[in-house]
Structure 1
Amino acid sequence: MIHFADYHAHFYFDPDEAEEAGALCAAMKEALGVAMGRVHIRPVGPHPRGSCQMTVPAARIGEALEWIMAHRGRFTVFAHGNSGNDLADHTAHVMWLGPSETLDLSQFGAA
């Protein structure tokens, strides 16, 4: 059985949407008391666009997904479990809320 220590939810946005996306992530932090990472205007790591990462405890992923579905608006959210296997966590252990996007998996040794 795979154990997820927690989950990440990455809110994707274009540069002109950074302020709105940041406010949405701050609203999630306030509503659920979950950790909010930096708002990255440009792609970082495997993420294809600007993003803001929310870290959700494993026991609260259902509540977080419900909040995201009700509030994400036009933003695509990429969510994944954190098992310690970065490649699997970004390919097999994933959920997309909105249209899926292509990740840059080269940093994980994938093509």
Structure 2
Amino acid sequence: MSEITGYHAHVYFDADTQDLAQHICEEAARLFPVQMGRMHARPVGPHPRWSCQLGFAADAFDQVIPWLMFNRQGLTIFTHAETGDHLADHRDHALWMGELLDLDLSIFDKA
């Protein structure tokens, strides 16, 4: 098994839910040792919707994930491990809260 060095939770939103997503992300960063990324008002990387990344250490998982489960207010959240294998992390080492979406994993293809 690969070593998990941390996690990324991607909170998905659209124009109608952007304020809600920002509030949830800011609250998570206030309550926990979470690094809040930018609010991307367009799809970025493999993500099919607008999103904000929450980065946190492996030892914060048991605090952050339950909080997100109960406070996501209907937003979809994609969470993946950070092991250094980006394809496997996004494809095989992931959790979904809400709607399951198709990621564009082709960006991880090896040349």
Same fold, TM-score > 0.5, yes or no: yes
Amino acid at match of 2:6: D
**1:40-72: CA deviation from partner (whole Å, max 9, x where unpaired):** 011000000000000011011111111001100
Q: Check the 8 A contact 2:12/2:52 in 1, yes or no.
A: yes
Q: Give the aligned partner of residue 55 of structure 1.
A: 55
Q: Give the aligned partner of residue 25 of structure 1.
A: 25
Q: Secondary structure at the match of 1:89?
A: helix
Q: Give the aligned partner of residue 10 of structure 1.
A: 10
Q: Unpaired runs of 5+ in structure 1?
A: none
Q: How does 1:71-110 map to 2 (within 5 A)?
A: 71-109=71-109
Amino acid at match of 2:55: T
TM-score, length of structure 1 as denominator length = 0.94
Equivalent residue pairs, number: 110
Alpha-carbon RMSD across the aligned residues, in angstroms, is 1.1
TM-score, length of structure 2 as denominator length = 0.94
CA distance in 2, matches of 1:60, 1:32: 8
Q: Unpaired runs of 5+ in structure 2?
A: none
Q: Percent identity?
A: 43
Q: CA deviation at 1:19?
A: 1.9
Q: Check the 8 A contact 1:15/1:42 in 2, yes or no.
A: no
